[in-house]
Structures are given as structure tokens and as C-alpha cells.
Amino acid sequence: MKGTVMDVKGRTALITGASTGIGAAYARELAARGAALILVARRESKLKELADDLRTTHGVRVDVAPLDLARPGAAEILAGHVSELGRTVDILINNAGFATHGDVATADPERLTEQVSLNCTTVVDLTTRFLPAMIAGRSGVVVNVASTAAFQPIAHMAVYGATKAFVLSFTEALWAETAGTGVRVVAICPGSTDTPFFDVVGAEEASMGKRRSPEQVVATTFAALDRGRPSAVDGRVNALLSRLPRLLPRRATLRIAERAVRPNPA
């Protein structure tokens, strides 16, 4: 598959976290390439607005599935909905996820559990539900959105960093397992991106460096898929910084992590 440009025309893509930001950018790019879509997110009004725009602009089929994927059993419900629609998922983009900012000792345990559920459990659950058909058909794509936070521990965002390290490790292992099956797998690792992400985090200082656009993240994803890479970091500066933890002693990496994201002085 390396070196070939991926043709998605007439195929069906399921995108989680599709209402805004990177998820919406994936939807626009895939619709422009002629793919049919299943858009998943919590906010039904946002999904319907995006779906209407994509149908009008690109003339593709777009179904919406308003669903909170952090809830137990949500992936099973979504898979059942896809089956009821009579759709086969050819492209799975696990983009839904969120972060919290603050120390573990003072965090809401339920909120951290939801974060692990959405960022990790749902990714695995949806992948295991839709991957077998892709392998059987010897064609398909799985994109898991990780983060540059996957490369080192992040103090005050400890759970988020750990979940994204899980996504990166899981996806790269999956890439190896699917070699020769016709299925392309990639983990995309964005750095700070111009999305509503930090509104949910609740800490603007968690954003470091110049933000890249969702469209740049999507372009990096497709370039990595076309090249057959197991993972890719979006942006040259982010790529360089992501290599530092592998070069520095572990203790130095932990010190950087401690100072990278500081809580509000108040």
C-alpha cells in the first residue's frame, strides 16, 4: 500500500467527535473526496448542521448518530445503529476524546473515568467491531487520533497524556498486526490545534506553541496513510519536540513534564 494515493470515493467513513474541530475537518475532506459519512458526536444540532452542509456541497450521503461515546455500552449501540442503517464502515476515524486540567488528587474521579473510557475503551471497542469486516474484504482504514502528549508524561494532565500514550501504542501494534491485510492503520499525533479542545480542558495555558489548523492535521493524516506509516506527528516543530523524550534521560523528561503545564496560580 505504500506510495499509493488512497481512493475513498463511494466508501463509507464513520467519524467520532465529528461536530467540530478535527473531526469536522475529516468530514469535509472525506466528503470532498466522494466518501459517504456517518457522523457521531453528542451535539445533535451541530451534527445536523454539518451534515446538511456536506450533502448540499458535495452530494454525498451523510447519516448522523447523536451519542455520548463515554457512556458504557455506547460502542455497541453505535454498531447496532450502523447495522440498522444498512451501512458497512470502510473508514473508521476514532477522533472523539477530551482532556481535563488539574492534579489527580483533586480531580473528579467520575470525570477521569469518563476520560479513560472515551479516549481508550471506545477506541478499542469500535476498532474491534469494525476491523474484522475490513480484513475480510482486504480493504479499509483505521485512523486513531492520539496526541503529542503521548510521548511524555504531562503533569496536571496526567490521565490525558496516559490515554494518548495508550492510543499510540495500541495503534502502532495494530498497524503491525494488519500488515498485508489491505487495511491501512495510522495514529495521528497533533500538537496544539485551533479547535474547541481547550474550552473543554478549561485551561488556556495547556496550549503550548503556535496552534496548527485542523485541516493541516487532516492533510498530515492522509500523507501518512499514503506512505504506509504507523504513526505521524503533525507539524515539523511538533515532530522534533516529540523526539526529545527518546533522547533525554528519563529523569530529565519528568522534569520537563512537571514544568510544561502549570496549574493556575489562583
Contacts of 260 (CB under 8 A, 6+ apart): 154, 155, 208
Is 26 known to be catalytic? no
Measured at the CA of 163, the angle between CA 129 and CA 110, to 5 degrees, comes to 90
Strands of 231-233's sheet in order across: 62-66, 36-41, 12-16, 91-94, 140-145, 183-189, 231-233
Between the alpha carbon of residue 15 and those of residues 123, 196, 261, the distances in Å are 11, 17, 30
Choose, from 26, 130, 151, 160, the residue flagged as catalytic: 160
Residue 233 phi/psi, 5-degree rounding, is -100, 130
Place of cell 477521569: 112
Catalytic annotation, residues:
160
